[in-house]
Structure 1
Amino acid sequence: MENETTPLEKVNNWIKNSVMLKLATITILVLLLLIPTSMITSIISEREFLNNAAVSEVSGKWADSQLVNGPILTIPLVYEYLKDDKIVESVKYWHVLPKSLDINGTVDPEKLRRGIYEIVVYRSALAVNGSFVLDKMPDENNLKTIRWGQAFLTIGISDLRGIEDDVIVKWNNRDLKVEPGSRISDIAYAGFTVAVPDLTDAFGKDLAFGFDLKLQGSQNLSFTPLGSNTNIKLTSAWPSPSFNGNFIPDDRQVTEAGFSANWKVLQLNRNFPQSWIGSGEAEKLQNSAFGVDLILPLDDYQKSMRSAKYAIMTIVLTFLIFFLVEILNGRKIHPFQYTLVGLALSLFYILLISISEHTNFNLAYAVSTCAIVGMISLYSMSVFKMPKLSMLLVATLIGIYGFLFVTLQLADYALLMGSIGLTIILAITMYFTRNINWYKLNIATE
């Protein structure tokens, strides 16, 4: 009778040996570990925000992204209207776009640092050439006169701080000086203006223009396809361009040594006419812009954020190894020990983001992996008390982090790699647990 187990002892033994209770406990721990994981993603977002703030600060001092919008030939028109028995004059602007527009340029990238953050800026040298042809008269209803002698060119530059040298515009082999500011701010908010010679006798003639523009900016360089036939060619030593906007290059080459790209845009490719009166086409011009971003390829914050999204997978798989060791080899593992391992796994992402801010991402990933795998494997030796099981855990962790690293590198195939990898992991787990009788299974006592 002395050896009879009391109800309290039975409950205590059930708590110690119940597989379902241990599974429930592990599940609760996994869910609780999502709290520090979400805090880690918040930290990564905060660091990315600080990086973006540094980019904005440096760009504000250097020059922001640049949009070249022009040249546009503008001719004042005087209309007369009868209003309340009085003749009223109204001046409107007749905007004419180039017949041809050719831009050849080189973009020389530079990397600037603001504290620990890196920002991409550039210096560009653009040779702009083309011609205008006045072969279509404006609306002549109520038209009093055309002020041919007051015509002017507008070259829109989105950030005038980026202009490095004086600009001389050649107009039919004549050098013309430029004036700061845009007179047609509804179409080109910022830029410079060039007064052209009297166009009274220019109707139907080819009016050639050309100028060189040295322009610095940050991250992006874009153009508006104003020519009836627009041809743009850019070359750069930057190996990671991103072509964006309304048109992509007709021909491009991207290598580790840099890129070259050619755009050809016809009048029929865009949704605005060759000439118009007023500002009705301004929005369409803005929406037609295209160009290139000089990006840092899949920057460290994006990679860190994507890796943190796999935290739940890493924690679950590591806990699975501990759980299988516990039920198949009779090694009791306390929930507190699971918690320590889970926190160590979460610490990986803090190490990754903090180290990657001072060195390249791949090295940071290797250092963080070695630190966390080494810490958990050494801890498991005292928990498992079997070197073979600890080596199995090390191999599993290396496999998990190796799989995650490959997935991060393959940005375009990340979802495919992730789904295939998870399928394989689930299949392996099903294979090694296929003979376990979960109804009769209790955790063995030591």
Structure 2
Amino acid sequence: MEEQNTTFEKVNSWVKHSIMLKLATITILMLLLLIPTSMITSVIYERESLSVEAMNEVSSKWGGSQIITGPILTIPLVYEYLDKEKNATYQTQVNWYILPEELNIKGDVTPEKLKRGIYEIAVYKSDLTLSGKFNFEKNIDQTNLKQIKYDQAFITIGIKDLRGIKDHINFNWNKEAQTVKPGSKISDVVYAGMTINVPNIEEYLNTDIPFDYTLKLQGSQNMSFVPLGSTTNVKLKSNWDTPSFDGSFLPDNREVTETGFTADWKVLNLNRNFPQSWTQGEVKPSLESSMFGVNFLMPMDDYQKSTRSAKYAVMTIALTFLIFFLVEVLNGKKIHPFQYALVGLALCLFYILLVSISEHSNFNFAYGLSAAGIVSMITLYSMSVFKAKKLTLLLVTTLSGIYGFLFVTLQLADYALLMGSIGLTVILAATMYFTRNINWYKLNIETE
């Protein structure tokens, strides 16, 4: 009986004092804490998805992202072919598509913010003036050509989301007002838009035909243009101070200030991969592949920063546990695994606080408030565990350094990898320095 008690006491003493067992326990706790960390990451993704859903819902009612295409002049052609087997002729009609020689677009864009729950969505109203000229030659395939239906020629203006049109369109063709009708007759080229029948096309062969029209259009998220002109000039100005220019072409000139931005583009037909005119069936140009424009999206990088910060959870937990472990080793303070677990859960709580507060304020304020709350909570708890002000001060300094380092890394997105690798190297070097004189075998012997 005494031998059994002695054996049990030895095992119990080994469990309490074994350094290797303590390290194994801490490692297992860290791995277990990855479960709530991954759950928090899922919550961040879910909140970001809800924000996108709110944006899409508002866009579906106000008007979505807009792509302005046109005008495109279309002239029907009739070809006659001989069927030798049946000794009969048959006719087929195709469209002849002609793009403008010059296309000028000038506009004012006025964005505003709409709220859907706690989310803000950027929408805009715009007042655009489009002008230019057509000049076309009879340079089409004459083989088997039966008729050119100049009397059925029409103009097509493409607009992606027709719900955004807020006023009648006054289209002037050769300085004469024309009637604008809804719908696109050339859905293979322009899916949604308006059609304008244009008279007396044959009279203006090889001459300039000017056109102009105004467009009051509203939308959300993005406004883009397709450069159909042989020379396309676009000039935009807006009171939006955080534009994001995207598409196939960036502005040639732009100025962004606190009061808004101005930007202008010049795109040549040589810059895009479709011709100035073609007949139906010859080619199938992808017009939107050359579009360009500007985004008016609300900044959503708060969720991205929260997600990136959650990726550093393992480092934060590991370094904090390292401080507790070194306190145990160097100062003989016994810390129970349950106490490690509570501290680890507090560290995980930081990330859910961060994303929840940042939804109602800016990210920097949310980060500072969340970090201060967690550091204070762990500090107060460690005072009863360490029972030494110096050790508590060391922990506070370490936690403040960790969260400060993480904040700087999140702000320097382009240098995040560099900052992270340098920071981890410094941390490892410091750990090696402060533990250089520890005789780990002796610790095990003394604790047996």
TM > 0.5: yes
Alignment of 1:365-384 (within 5 A): 365-384=367-386
Q: Deviations over 1:56-85 (max 9, x none)?
A: 110000001000011101111111111232
Alignment of 1:99-138 (within 5 A): 99-138=101-140
Residue 15 (structure 2) pairs with residue 15 (structure 1): yes
Using a 3 Å threshold, how does the CA distance of structure 1 residues 137 and 344 change in structure 2: closer, same or farther?
Answer: same
Deviation at 1:295, TM superposition (A): 2.6
The farther-off stretch of 155-164 and 108-117 is: 108-117
% identity of equivalent residues = 65
2:265 corresponds to which letter in structure 1?
W
Deviation at 1:305, TM superposition (A): 1.1
Aligned to 1:202: 204
Question: CA contact under 8 A between 1:150 and 1:198: conserved in structure 2?
Answer: no
Q: Separation in 2 of the partners of 1:409 and 1:400?
A: 14
Q: Give the structure-1-normalised TM-score.
A: 0.95
Residue 27 (structure 2) pairs with residue 24 (structure 1): no
Alignment of 1:415-426 (within 5 A): 415-426=417-428
Aligned length: 444
Question: CA contact under 8 A between 2:80 and 2:92: conserved in structure 1?
Answer: yes
Residue 170 (structure 2) pairs with residue 168 (structure 1): yes
The farther-off stretch of 190-199 and 4-13 is: 4-13
Using a 3 Å threshold, how does the CA distance of structure 1 residues 412 and 105 change in structure 2: closer, same or farther?
Answer: farther
1:213 corresponds to which letter in structure 2?
L
Aligned to 1:344: 346
Deviation at 1:280, TM superposition (A): 5.5
Question: CA contact under 8 A between 1:100 and 1:229: conserved in structure 2?
Answer: yes
Aligned to 1:431: 433
Using a 3 Å threshold, how does the CA distance of structure 1 residues 32 and 178 change in structure 2: closer, same or farther?
Answer: same
Using a 3 Å threshold, how does the CA distance of structure 1 residues 86 and 441 change in structure 2: closer, same or farther?
Answer: same
SS at match of 2:323: helix
Q: Separation in 2 of the partners of 1:5 and 1:176?
A: 105
Pick aligned residue for 2:227 from 225, 245, 250: 225
User: Structure 1: 5+ residue runs without aligned partners?
Assistant: none
1:39 corresponds to which letter in structure 2?
M
Using a 3 Å threshold, how does the CA distance of structure 1 residues 281 and 230 change in structure 2: closer, same or farther?
Answer: farther
SS at match of 1:139: coil
Aligned to 1:70: 70
Deviation at 1:259, TM superposition (A): 2.3
Aligned-residue CA RMSD (Å): 1.9
Residue 58 (structure 2) pairs with residue 53 (structure 1): no
1:297 corresponds to which letter in structure 2?
P
Q: Separation in 1 of the partners of 2:33 and 2:422?
A: 25
Q: Give the structure-2-normalised TM-score.
A: 0.95
Using a 3 Å threshold, how does the CA distance of structure 1 residues 294 and 280 change in structure 2: closer, same or farther?
Answer: farther
Deviation at 1:444, TM superposition (A): 7.6
Q: Separation in 1 of the partners of 2:252 and 2:413?
A: 24
Deviation at 1:176, TM superposition (A): 1.4
Deviation at 1:414, TM superposition (A): 2.0
1:361 corresponds to which letter in structure 2?
F
Q: Separation in 2 of the partners of 1:320 and 1:262?
A: 56
1:59 corresponds to which letter in structure 2?
S
1:142 corresponds to which letter in structure 2?
N
Q: Separation in 1 of the partners of 2:246 and 2:335?
A: 55
Alignment of 1:73-112 (within 5 A): 73-83=73-83, 84-112=86-114
Alignment of 1:128-277 (within 5 A): 128-277=130-279
User: Structure 2: 5+ residue runs without aligned partners?
Assistant: none
SS at match of 1:441: helix
The farther-off stretch of 177-186 and 298-307 is: 298-307
2:52 corresponds to which letter in structure 1?
N
Question: CA contact under 8 A between 2:101 and 2:230: conserved in structure 1?
Answer: yes
Residue 307 (structure 2) pairs with residue 330 (structure 1): no
Alignment of 1:356-395 (within 5 A): 356-395=358-397
